Structure formats: C-alpha cells, structure tokens
C-alpha cells in the first residue's frame, strides 16, 4: 500500500489503500539559518507534558489560574511556533482567550465547575466554525475574512464544558482536497507546518497543526478532523494519541466539509486518558446533523470509565498476515507490539483483508469528489466568505496564483467541480462500492474471526517536506479501512524509527470507541512509548 498526497485518477488502481490526509509542502516563512539556534528556544517549560487531570489539580489547588495557563501556552506558542523552531502549527490566536479564562476562573472560585475541561486551554483546527473574532478558512486565502455567525455544534459543546479555545491550528489546505501533488501541512494562508521531531520532515495532515501543537506542548489537547487519515496520520507521525470516532458520534455541523459519508471531528492528545476526556465532551446528538441521530443510546458521557490496564486480556486482535511494508525497523516495531499484546493477554489472530480494500480506492475518490462539491457549495452559500461556491474558489486561486498556488495546483478542486449532483448514477454506484463495500469487508472479517479489534502500524515515519514532488509516504498506512466504512479508529505511540515516531492502530466496529480506548490505554501503559520531540533541524544532523 503506497501513500501519496491523495488519490489520483491515473494511479488509484496501483496505489493500494489510498488515503485522504495530506497536503502541500513549502518552505517556512523564515529559514532556520536566519533565526537563533533551536536550543535557545527549547527551555524548560513548566507545563511540559501536563495532562488535563494534572492541570485540573493545579487549578483546584490554586497553584495556577486558567488565566495563567492561557498566558503560559500563548508564550510557548510565541517562542516555539513563531520563533525558534518555527513549527508554524498555529494559524491564529484567539484575542479573547484571556478574557474567557478570567470568566472560567471566576466560575471556579464561585464553586461552579463544568467538569474536567473547565478552564483548560485547547486548540482547534481551522476548518471548524467559531462565532468569535477568529476566522474559519480551511487554510485557504480564498476564505480569508470568513468570520462565522454561529459556533460549530462541537464548539458549542466544548464551550459548555468550560474549554478555553486559545487559537486555531494550521492544516493541509481544504483538508488536503485541493491537489494530487501536495505535501502535508501546507496552506496558502498558514504556510508550512513542521514536524517537531525533525523540522525538515512532514507533520502529515490534514490536521497537521493540531498534531504538531499537541506534541510540542503548545496546548494540552487539540481537535482535529478526518475524512481519511487526517487525525490518525498526524497523531502517529507526531508521537501522540488520535481518535477518529465512528461517523455520527460527533457532529459535523459548522465544519467545512469534504464528505458527509466519512467526515468526523476527533480528539488529539498526548495520552489516551486525555483523548478520552475530550471525546466525552465532543460526542452528542445534533439535530442539524442527521447522522448523529444514529448514535442515540450508543454514546458515553464519560469515556474514561473504559481506561483499564487489563483491557487487552482475552481480547481477540486481528493482525494482517502480510507485512504492511518492507522496512525492517518499522516491521520490528510491529513485532515488538505484537509481543507486548500477547504478554498483556491478547489473542493474536492472523487475518487477510488489506488487499480487498485496494480495489476500493477509485470508488472512494469518486464519492469524495461528488460530496465535496455538494457539501462545500452548501457551506459557502450561507458563510460570510467572499467566495460563495466552489467555482468562485477555483477562480480566486487562478486570479491569485502566485500566492495560492506557488507549489502545486488545484486539480482536485477542478475535478470535483465537474461532478453532477448526488443523484447521479455514477456517484451512487461509487458509494455502494466504497462505503457499503468497506463495511461488508470489515463486518465479514470481524464476525468470521470473532475479533474485538484490528491492529497494525498506523503510518510509517514521516517523510521529508518536499515542495517539488510532494508527499512520499512509503508502504505503511492503515487509515482507509476505518475511514471508508465510518468505523472508529485510535492510534497510540509505538516507538521510533529514524528518530521519528510511529503509531499503532486499533480499529473496531461502530460505536466501540470505549473498547478501543481501553485497548489503547492498556497498550500505552504497558509500553510507555511516547517520547518528547527533539526539534532536530535535519535528519542528517
């Protein structure tokens, strides 16, 4: 299975399991040579590797106020993201963050606590509407100035939980649905996000900024979105935890869309516990997103109840019998993980399913193009952006080509714009092959082998940032099966190869987030594979 920036019509048949998560590559707005040495900015950070629980303890004890936490994280963003290593993961700071923090402090002082996320600073991806002073642009200059009139439903839930949104994160432009020749983490508005482990390497995408920011301790947790791999890939290559929920568990209302079939928001964190806490605040039924009605009676208010160090005991875990790739270091990481799963009491079951997904790539891309056009036109029709439909986006990019398309073009936008409506026979046929076909394959594997989860390497180590040739991910990717079927997926840190993180995936049947969280937590606690980033300037240094 080969990884590319995204599916191309010409190469889908031979690309294997293709995914939708990567965008474009450019140089940073500043060169490392022009800035001070990286080590001058990697000073001891007093909130380094803090968790939601540890921050709550400090807030409750009075050691810190939320206002102080916000100020510390904003200072960290300035030092690490904008100066020093110039990670470029935060596209915009919330000018009201301190004011909101003061309000949260007053509530806490008055004895009112909204729960574990009360007063906790969080970053969210810049394709999620916030009805405040921040823009929502999907990283596109065509969307500059778009101030949402209404919070996305998931933002409403986060605010109700007491979250302080301190800013928005950069992403692969249009969530990596712009070009087939792109490199992850670049947007025309935000520039290139970097991998904090090795700065000239790729952060993956499209939730590049969220993954990098969490890993580099610019926040305690962040929100990403995924259509195919856009949460779990950046989580994997940035050495953190990412959860792609079942499609329907988390509302998509107010999120710039790609696919009504596959889109979902999800949590990104340094620990499984924190990801579970954030997921509990995000999951809810939204009358404006009819798919969430299917989650009635299947959601949990508190996913931390599944955090069990013995969760792997007796569980049947499916592992593809064919190697995912031929890199001996990555394969060794999987073998070590399998050994650990066995030691924790899991029953390893060999399965053969990967090749069955290879024929679905063309159909998936077809579905996404149709749904992107339909969904984006609907979003833009009522948004406060200067562009009102996909045609106007395309024309804006053409008229501003030197700024919007300096490294790669917009052939995916253009091919999507040529599609007809969602009643088109070609779309309906592709939907049946991709969506229903994926579910049929996985349902058969899970039932025949009596599996609790399927496991494997999430992604190989990050490729280099390459603005000429784009992303080159090698042979490792385990994103599409859960993405095309709408099934839940969690990735947790699984060690290092070439000084770069590699994640381990568990995915299961619909609405088994709790069980997957348990499996991920048990593996995390037994392995302790999360390592802080070193901010190396280059692979060769």
322 within 8 A of 289, measured Cβ to Cβ: no
DSSP string, 221-283: EEEEEESBSTTHHHHHHTT-EEEEPPTTTB--TTB--S-TTT-EEEEEESSHHHHHHHHHHHB
CA 185 from chain centre, in angstroms, equals 11
179, 188, 206, 505: which is the annotated catalytic residue?
206
Closest CA to 19 of 495, 493, 505, 414: 505
Q: Tell me the C-alpha distance between 250 and 147, whole Å.
A: 22
Closest CA to 519 of 497, 531, 504: 504
477 annotated active-site: no
Closest CA to 449 of 352, 335, 344, 343: 352
Q: Tell me the C-alpha distance between 426 and 341, whole Å.
A: 43
Q: Tell me the C-alpha distance between 168 and 228, whole Å.
A: 21
Q: Tell me the C-alpha distance between 123 and 490, whole Å.
A: 20
Q: How far is CA 9 from CA 179, 224, 412, 479, 516, in A?
A: 12, 27, 10, 19, 34
179, 188, 230, 259: which is the annotated catalytic residue?
230
What does the block give as tokens for 458?
Answer: 């999430």
125 annotated active-site: yes
Q: Tell me the C-alpha distance between 478 and 136, whole Å.
A: 29
**Radius of gyration over every alpha carbon of the chain, rounded to an integer in angstroms:** 21
Q: What angle do CA 364, 367, 371 make, to 5 degrees?
A: 140
User: Strand order of the sheet with strand 241-244?
Assistant: 90-93, 164-169, 121-125, 221-226, 264-269, 241-244, 489-497, 500-507, 453-457, 316-320, 347-351
28 within 8 A of 192, measured Cβ to Cβ: yes
What does the block give as tokens for 522?
Answer: 């048990």
Closest CA to 404 of 391, 414, 395: 395
Non-local CB neighbours of 370 within 8 Å, separated by 6+ positions: 416, 419, 420, 421, 422, 424, 427, 430
Q: Tell me the C-alpha distance between 321 and 169, whole Å.
A: 38
527 annotated active-site: no
288 within 8 A of 153, measured Cβ to Cβ: yes
5, 28, 66, 125: which is the annotated catalytic residue?
125
458 within 8 A of 503, measured Cβ to Cβ: yes
Find tokens 């060794």 and name the residue.
Answer: 332
Q: Tell me the C-alpha distance between 499 and 26, whole Å.
A: 22
Which sequence positions are flagged as catalytic? 125, 206, 230
């Amino acid at each position: 299975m080969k990884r590319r920036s995204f599916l191309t019509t010409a190469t889908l048949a031979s690309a294997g399991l293709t995914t939708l998560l990567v965008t474009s590559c450019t140089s940073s707005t500043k060169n490392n040579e022009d800035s001070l040495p990286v080590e001058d900015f990697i000073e001891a950070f007093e909130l380094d590797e803090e968790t939601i629980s540890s921050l709550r303890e400090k807030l409750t004890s009075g050691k810190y106020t939320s206002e102080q936490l916000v100020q510390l994280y904003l200072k960290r963003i300035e030092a690490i993201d904008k100066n020093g290593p110039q990670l470029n993961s935060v596209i915009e700071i919330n000018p009201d963050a301190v004011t909101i923090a003061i309000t949260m402090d007053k509530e806490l002082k008055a004895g009112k606590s909204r729960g574990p996320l009360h007063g906790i600073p969080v970053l969210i991806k810049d394709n999620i509407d916030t009805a405040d002073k921040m823009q929502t642009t999907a990283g596109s200059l065509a969307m500059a100035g778009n101030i949402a009139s209404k919070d996305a439903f998931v933002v409403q839930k986060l605010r109700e939980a007491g979250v302080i949104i301190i800013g928005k994160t950069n992403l692969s432009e249009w969530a990596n649905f712009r070009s087939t020749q792109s490199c992850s983490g670049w947007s025309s508005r935000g520039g290139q996000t970097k991998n904090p482990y090795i700065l000239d390497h790729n952060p993956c995408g499209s939730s590049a900024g969220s993954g990098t920011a969490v890993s580099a301790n610019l926040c305690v947790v962040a929100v990403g979105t995924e259509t195919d791999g856009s949460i779990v890939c950046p989580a994997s290559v940035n050495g953190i935890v990412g959860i792609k929920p079942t499609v329907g568990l988390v509302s998509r209302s107010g999120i710039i869309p790609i696919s009504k079939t596959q889109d979902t928001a999800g949590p990104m964190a340094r620990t499984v516990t924190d990801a579970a806490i954030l997921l509990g605040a995000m999951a809810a039924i939204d009358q404006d997103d009819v798919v969430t009605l299917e989650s009635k009676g299947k959601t949990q208010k508190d996913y931390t109840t599944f955090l069990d160090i013995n969760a792997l005991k007796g569980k049947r875990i499916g592992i593809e019998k064919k190697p995912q790739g031929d890199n001996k270091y990555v394969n060794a990481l999987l073998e070590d993980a399998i050994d650990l799963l066995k030691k924790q009491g899991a029953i390893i079951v060999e399965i053969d399913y990967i090749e069955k997904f290879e024929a679905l790539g063309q159909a998936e891309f077809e579905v996404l193009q149709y749904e992107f056009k339909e969904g984006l036109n609907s979003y833009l029709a009522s948004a406060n952006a200067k562009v009102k439909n996909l045609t106007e986006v395309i024309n804006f990019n053409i008229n501003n080509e030197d700024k919007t398309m300096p490294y790669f073009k917009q052939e995916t936008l253009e091919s999507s714009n040529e599609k007809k409506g969602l009643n088109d026979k070609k779309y309906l046929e592709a939907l049946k092959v991709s969506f229903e076909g994926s579910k049929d394959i996985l349902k058969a594997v899970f039932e025949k082998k009596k599996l609790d989860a399927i496991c494997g390497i999430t992604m190989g180590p990050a490729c280099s940032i390459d603005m000429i040739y784009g992303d080159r991910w090698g042979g490792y990717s385990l994103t599409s099966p859960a993405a095309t079927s709408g099934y839940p997926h969690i990735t947790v840190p699984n060690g290092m190869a070439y000084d770069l993180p590699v994640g381990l995936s568990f995915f299961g049947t619909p609405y088994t987030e709790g069980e997957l969280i348990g499996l991920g937590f048990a593996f995390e606690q037994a392995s302790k594979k999360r390592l802080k980033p070193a901010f190396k300037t280059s692979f060769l240094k």
